[in-house]
Amino acid sequence: MEILVPTNYIKNTYVYQLVNSLQKINGVKSVHTLVPWLFQDEIAFDFIHLQWPESIVSYKHLNNDSYNYINQCLNDWKKKGTKIVSTIHNEIPHRNKSSEAYRFYAMLYRHSDGILHMGEASKRMFQTSFSERVNNNATDVVIKHGNYDCFPNRISRAEARSVLKIPADRLVVASIGAIRSKLEYQLLRRVTNSLKKYDGLLLQIGSINPPDRFLVRHYKRNTIKRKANFRHFGSFVEDYRMQTFLNACDILLVPRVNTLNSGNVALGFTFGKIVMGTASGVIGEELIANGNPVFQNTSKQEISKTIDEAVSMIQTGLGEKNKDYAMTELNWDKLAEKYIAFYKSLK
């Protein structure tokens, strides 16, 4: 079986885990990832598994020319008998909400014989947003986001806090990922404010770029960085250092609002953390199903209430239950078997 997972996001941990697990399956000859393989005929791929459409064509270049070129390319693969599968990561690109981006997404889905969702909320979104513009004969299935057991996890809580110079008894919340919207920035500020009554500390890993004019964005970024209970660790942290922040924290915040999926849920579960996030989308679906605290909106009252719930859960053993769930239900070897079974089921 020859499989192509074409994406420029080859450093993305999700892509690594997916490809690595598929390569272990008996009968899989090879799994290619580089985008140029999509435009050649040297290898006759049995399955092409599309991820983020903008990882094939940059969201900055989603135009009519690229649309026609990719459309023709996928038509050619379909004529050869190749089955095409798409995983729904988000509704449209985070940084491009244009009609052209939506049109590009719909085109890729229209060519797909199979649609992979990470939760039931994704299926509902897909039916609402794309049902009239895609292949209605496509088979869809839910296969959850896998865990992050590829990350090192050898440092203890005490060691992690020593490295970060955080007292052993201080409440710590970590937030991982770029802050891309005004609501996400508002969420970050309100979590920081709500932590004051616990003398809690918020650690942020990822850029802070709310969509404002340069000077306004600069002001907002500096305003939150100056807070006494907020520490920013830059836009990027290497994978091997992630264990330090995750083992130092008590709670992992998923800093997303109006977003369908986030790998941070599986990330927090993998490290045995209480995970707090929005009640919407697949994020909320997974958190609620596993008994983790969720917020319905980003109001001050709601964020404060959710912080209180999260703090009350720290000593309940929920973190260990989350970890058990990640190691069993989100196990990549088990998920890879589901992927292969789904590929083979496509007619």
Sign of the dihedral defined by the CA atoms of residues 52, 55, 60, 62, in that order: negative
Angle of helix 182-194 relative to helix 214-225, nearest 10 degrees, comes to 20
The DSSP secondary-structure symbol of 320 reads H
Mean pLDDT of the chain: 93
Q: How would residue 136 be classed by pLDDT, with cut points 50, 70 and 90?
A: low
pLDDT confidence of residue 262: 96
Does residue 126 or residue 166 have the better pLDDT? 166
pLDDT confidence of residue 96: 61
Q: How would residue 134 be classed by pLDDT, with cut points 50, 70 and 90?
A: low
108 neighbors 71 (Cβ within 8 angstroms): no
Does domain 2-146+331-345 sit in CATH 3.30.360.10? Answer: no
Q: Which two tokens stand for residue 337?
A: 């078997």
Mean pLDDT of the 309-337 span: 98
pLDDT > 70 fraction of the chain, expressed in percent and rounded: 97
67 neighbors 102 (Cβ within 8 angstroms): no
CA dist 266 and 249 (Å) reads 16
pLDDT confidence of residue 41: 86
Confidence check: pLDDT of 76 > 90:
yes
pLDDT > 90 fraction of the chain, expressed in percent and rounded: 80
pLDDT confidence of residue 11: 82
256 neighbors 179 (Cβ within 8 angstroms): no
pLDDT confidence of residue 212: 79
Q: Which amino acid is at 108?
A: L
Alpha-helix residue ranges (DSSP H) falling in the chain:
13-23, 64-79, 99-110, 120-130, 157-164, 182-194, 214-225, 239-248, 263-270, 281-289, 300-312, 318-328, 332-345
Taking alpha carbons only, the member of 44, 50, 49, 38 closest to residue 1 is 44
Does residue 59 or residue 223 have the better pLDDT? 223
CA dist 242 and 153 (Å) reads 9
Confidence check: pLDDT of 147 > 60:
yes
Task: State pLDDT tens for residues 158-214.
Answer: 999 999 999 999 999 999 999 989 999 999 999 999 999 999 999 999 999 887 777
Confidence check: pLDDT of 88 > 60:
yes
**What CATH architecture does domain 157-328 belong to?**
3-Layer(aba) Sandwich (3.40)
Alpha-helix residue ranges (DSSP H) falling in 207-331:
214-225, 239-248, 263-270, 281-289, 300-312, 318-328
Say if strands 274-278 and 30-32 run parallel, antiparallel, or are unpaired: unpaired
Confidence check: pLDDT of 137 > 80:
no
Q: Which amino acid is at 253?
A: L
Q: How would residue 135 be classed by pLDDT, with cut points 50, 70 and 90?
A: low
Confidence check: pLDDT of 215 > 90:
no
- Residue 23 in 3-state DSSP? helix
Task: Report yes or no on whether pTM surpasses 0.85.
Answer: yes
pLDDT confidence of residue 94: 56
Q: What are the residue ranges spanned by the domains of the chain? A: 2-146+331-345, 157-328
Which of 205-209, 249-253, 305-309 has the lowest average pLDDT? 205-209
Which residues, including other chains, have CB under 8 Å from residue 226's CB and lie 6 or more apart? none
Asked if domains 2-146+331-345 and 157-328 share a fold, the reply is yes
Confidence check: pLDDT of 277 > 90:
yes
pLDDT confidence of residue 219: 76
pLDDT confidence of residue 312: 98
Confidence check: pLDDT of 307 > 90:
yes
110 neighbors 136 (Cβ within 8 angstroms): no
Does residue 222 or residue 122 have the better pLDDT? 122
332 neighbors 20 (Cβ within 8 angstroms): yes
pLDDT confidence of residue 227: 92
pLDDT confidence of residue 236: 87
Confidence check: pLDDT of 60 > 80:
no
